[in-house]
Amino acid sequence: MNKQTYPFTLMPLPYAYEALEPYIDKETMHYHHDKHHQAYVDNLNKALANHPQYQKYTVPELLVMLPEIPDEIWTAVHNNGGGVYNHNLFWLAMAPQVPSRPTGKLATVIDEKFKTFSNFKVEFKKTALSQFGSGWAWLVSNNRDELAIITTANQNTPLELNLKPILPLDVWEHAYYLKYQNRRGDYIDNWFNIVDWRQAEKLYYT
């Protein structure tokens, strides 16, 4: 998914638009993927169109090399590259038929860090609710494989903080407003029903 280079194309959803119902509705998925995510892809391509020296890099590579990206395209690459990367991760983090909780080493480290899986969910929700305005909530790990729950504003990514994303949650209003309006808490509670912990484990081990 993140191996592509310029010109970037929109990653297709790994399931049908209605697959995450009743937790995330088909209409939201169409707007979110076909309009919002597509716009990040298009705007990233536009930013790089006249900068061929950056066209050989993947999106994660561009995000890590942001300090050397020229000023005139820095904001566009940062915001739209982040938008492409975060949404690719977000679609893959969910699935219609999922295990209700992590297993293996990730389950163990979650228990070590947060005492219980239920307590992890309480902490994750609290953090996601605390993000003022647009942004993301994340379970991340650092270079010692230690877990943390963080938020990033707008389309900022954990990569810029030298952290590895394990589980992303989009808390922009465009992710939930059609179905949930201002009830971000209900959206978060329901989202836990479609978290694909197999993907989170894969990212943790990678």
Catalog residues that contact Mn ion under the rule CB under 5 A. 170, 172, 175
Q: How far is the CB of 203 from Mn ion (least distance, A)?
A: 19
Closest residue to Mn ion, judged by C-beta, is 170
| Residue partners of 76: CB distance under 8 A and separation at least 6 | 43, 44, 46, 47
Q: How far is the CB of 72 from Mn ion (least distance, A)?
A: 26
170 or 201: whose CB is closer to Mn ion? 170
Percent of the chain as helix, strand, coil, to the nearest 5: 55, 10, 35
| Residue partners of 2: CB distance under 8 A and separation at least 6 | 58, 59, 60, 85, 88
Tokens of 105: 């080493």
Q: How far is the CB of 107 from Mn ion (least distance, A)?
A: 28
Q: How far is the CB of 9 from Mn ion (least distance, A)?
A: 18
- The residue written with tokens 């943790």 in the block is 204
89 or 95: whose CB is closer to Mn ion? 89
